[in-house]
């Protein structure tokens, strides 16, 4: 989370596993969505979990409900991730990175309301997941980016690296696909390539199956925008 995306108010969840109202702290803010109801919230009107500082809410009611439903069990993990924010920061890209105002960010890259990018803001929230109208080919799906700016639906060609690829990070992937670091495709590809990272790095059983060229079945629970990103998920099959 960047400094510009930090909400204005922090509310500390109690240590005993129940939720109550506590002190509020001020900070600079951006524009994001409530973790409970998905309502778009301006920073000056948002609340943030004061313990992990990773999720925001539109109201104390949403924060209390989210705490009781799921956040109570995940808060510690989120806190650990946020403590590694600087370490995990991706600094190789040459395009602006911003989650605070998705429409403006997409507009700055000329991909707003185009192709698969339509799921990166709320402009097409009226359209059910998996049912975005599709016109044209792969270039249209990638928002009419130039042909050299997105991965084509084809196997990797690299005489020096054997398949499957055990990727170390975005720099290696972009170099393998000969993509410029000005290309924003990582924003969508982070979803399928996170799955690939889990299969090849965090799960020894699936990694061994992949190395032997055997089939691995993935059960993806609760897909939403991913249903409209299936062309991007095809990249996993090429790695």
Write down the domain spans for the chain: 3-88, 102-238
Residue 136 in 3-state DSSP?
coil
Taking the chain (239 residues) in runs of 10, the rounded mean pLDDT of each run is 43 49 37 80 79 89 92 91 72 61 88 95 92 92 96 74 71 91 92 88 80 83 92 89
pLDDT of residue 99: 61
pLDDT of residue 6: 42
pTM exceeding 0.75:
no
Give the Cα separation of 186 and 225 in Å (integer): 15
Alpha helices in the chain (DSSP H): 60-66, 72-83, 85-88, 102-108, 138-141, 170-176, 186-197, 204-211, 230-233
Residue 142 — φ and ψ, nearest 5°?
Answer: -90, 20
pLDDT of residue 166: 75
Whether residue 92 contacts residue 68, with contact meaning beta carbons closer than 8 Å, is answered with: no
């Amino acid at each position: 989370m960047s400094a510009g995306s930090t909400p204005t108010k922090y509310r500390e969840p109690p240590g005993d596993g129940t939720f109550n109202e506590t002190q509020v702290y001020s900070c600079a803010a951006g524009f994001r969505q409530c973790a409970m109801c998905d309502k778009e919230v301006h920073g000056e009107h948002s609340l943030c979990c004061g313990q992990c500082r990773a999720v925001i809410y539109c109201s104390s009611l949403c924060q209390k409900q989210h705490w009781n439903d799921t956040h109570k069990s995940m808060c510690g993990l989120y806190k650990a991730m946020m403590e590694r924010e600087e370490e995990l920061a991706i600094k190789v890209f040459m395009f602006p990175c911003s989650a605070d105002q998705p429409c403006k960010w997409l507009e700055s890259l000329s991909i707003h309301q185009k192709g698969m990018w339509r799921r990166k803001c709320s402009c097409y929230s009226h359209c059910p997941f998996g049912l975005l109208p599709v016109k044209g080919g792969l270039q249209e799906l990638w928002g009419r980016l130039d042909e050299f700016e997105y991965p084509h639906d084809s196997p990797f060609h690299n005489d020096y690296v054997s398949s499957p690829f055990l990727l170390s990070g975005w720099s290696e992937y972009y170099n393998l696909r000969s993509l410029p670091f000005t290309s924003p495709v990582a924003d969508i590809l982070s979803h399928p390539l996170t799955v690939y990272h889990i299969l090849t790095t965090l799960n020894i059983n699936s990694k061994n199956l992949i190395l032997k060229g055997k089939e691995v079945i993935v059960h993806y629970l609760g897909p939403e925008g991913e249903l409209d990103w299936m062309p991007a998920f095809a990249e996993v099959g090429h790695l």
